[in-house]
Amino acid sequence: MADQKKSDKIKSAVREHYAQAIINKGGCCGPNLQTFDPDAAGRFVAMAGYTPDELKGLPEDVTTFGCGNPVALAQVAEGETVLDLGSGAGLDLILAAKKVGPTGRVIGLDMTPEMIETCRKNLERAGVTNGEVRMGEMEAMPVDDAEIDWIISNCVINLSPEKEKVFAESFRVLKPGGRLMVSDIVTIDLPEEYRDDLAAWAGCIAGAVSEEAYVELARRAGFVDVEIIEKLVYNEATIGALANESCGCSGSESNLNDAALAKYANRVASVKVSARKP
């Protein structure tokens, strides 16, 4: 019961954090690409793995969420169905919709009503007619068995206090042969006492597990060909971009200050993880 209470507390804090972030729209989870300083935006976008062509013509309030572009490395084909875990304002859904084409389908999943409302508006503004957004949690997805060809996610699974359920659900909803391609945060010798800070949870840090544990979680769920295909360690110069701009949401009262950030430098990394359901 104590573990469930802690889990519920973490989810509530994360939900409130991102709800407030999208309401504020003050650099929420990354700079507004239309108004942010071009040089700084270019560095941020490059670090996240997005290209100018991908971002051209997007709705004004679509921002670069997360720690890396999962769509870029996913070999999504026309006619397939893609599920985005933690779809946020809809950036990766829009990019995936272009890949699957009019005969395919994209589904966003998010637990924050404010994010869902924004995502639906952005899909409409971007002209996406083959997409939908569902309200729900990754630990109990409102998705049918074997409904999905590809699962993508951008710096979201780390936010879950019950990651084993997320991977089990991911395995359930994928078709046989379905693929998972996610960008996420892993830790490097992070002391356990650092994991009780709810601001650090919402900033994609405190809830992360080690690279080895992440891979093992996927394998225990039944995935094969689990592979880390990219890795970027965040040092003192870049940790703030992760915690306060990518995931922490710039301008939020729960941002981590410089002193708090310093202890996480070189202890977290973003990775892109590929896996397959047999």
Position 236 confidence tier, pLDDT thresholds 50, 70, 90: confident
Q: What is the mean pLDDT of the chain?
A: 84
Quick: pLDDT tens for 8-38.
Answer: 887 887 788 777 777 665 434 444 444 444 4
Which domains are delineated in the chain?
A: 2-276 (3.40.50.150)
Quick: pLDDT tens for 146-203.
Answer: 999 999 999 999 999 999 999 999 999 999 999 999 999 999 998 888 887 777 777 7
For the chain, give the secondary structure using H, E and C.
CHHHHHHHHHHHHHHHHHHHHHHHCCCCCCCECCCCCHHHHHHHHHHHCCCHHHHCCCCCCCECCCCCCCCCCCCCCCCCEEEEECCCCCHHHHHHHHHHCCCCEEEEEECCHHHHHHHHHHHHHCCCCCEEEEECECCECCCCCCCEEEEEEECCHHHCCCHHHHHHHHHHHEEEEEEEEEEEEEECCCCHHHHHCHHHHHCCCCCCEEHHHHHHHHHHCCCEEEEEEEEEECCCCCHHHHHHHHCCCCCCCCCCCHHHHHCCCCCEEEEEEEEECC
Percentage of residues in the chain having pLDDT higher than 90: 53
Quick: pLDDT tens for 254-275.
Answer: 456 666 678 888 998 999 999 9
Mean pLDDT, residues 61-88 taken together: 86
